[in-house]
Amino acid sequence: MVSETQSDGATPLDPNEAEGLIPTHVTTREELNRLEQENIIDALQWLETARPEHILNETFIRKLHQRMFGRTWKWAGKFRNSGKNIGSPWEKIGVELHELLEDTKTQVEHKSYPPDEIAWRFHHRLVSIHPFPNGNGRHARLVTDLLLERLLHRPPFAWGGMSGVPEGEVRAAYLNALRAADRGDYGKLAEFVRSR
Amino acid in the structure at residue 161? G
Domain ranges of the chain: 15-193
The answer to which of 16-25, 87-96, 125-134, 152-161 has the lowest mean pLDDT is 16-25
pLDDT above 90 for 141: yes
* Alpha-carbon dihedral 124, 60, 29, 10, rounded to 10 degrees: 20
What 3-state class would DSSP assign to 6?
Answer: coil
pLDDT above 50 for 7: no
pLDDT of residue 101: 98
What average pLDDT score do residues 98-103 get? 98
Residue 160: which region, alpha, beta or left (left: phi > 0; alpha: psi -120 to 50)? left
Cα Rg of the chain (Å, integer): 16
Instruction: State the chain's mean pLDDT as an integer.
Output: 88
Contact 21, 73 (CB under 8 A): yes
Q: What percent of the chain has pLDDT over 90?
A: 68
CATH classification code of 15-193:
1.10.3290.10
Number of Cβ within 10 Å of residue 44's Cβ equals: 11
| Per-residue model confidence as pLDDT tens digits over 28-81 | 777 888 889 899 999 999 998 877 678 999 999 999 999 999 999 999 999 999
CA 9 to chain centre: 13
The answer to which of 51-60, 87-96, 140-149 has the lowest mean pLDDT is 51-60
Contact 195, 160 (CB under 8 A): yes
pLDDT of residue 32: 82
- Which phi and psi angles does 73 have, rounded to 5°? -125, 135
Q: How many CA atoms lie within 13 A of 117 on its CB side?
A: 8
Sequence-distant (6+) residues with CB within 8 A of 97 are 58, 61, 126, 129, 131
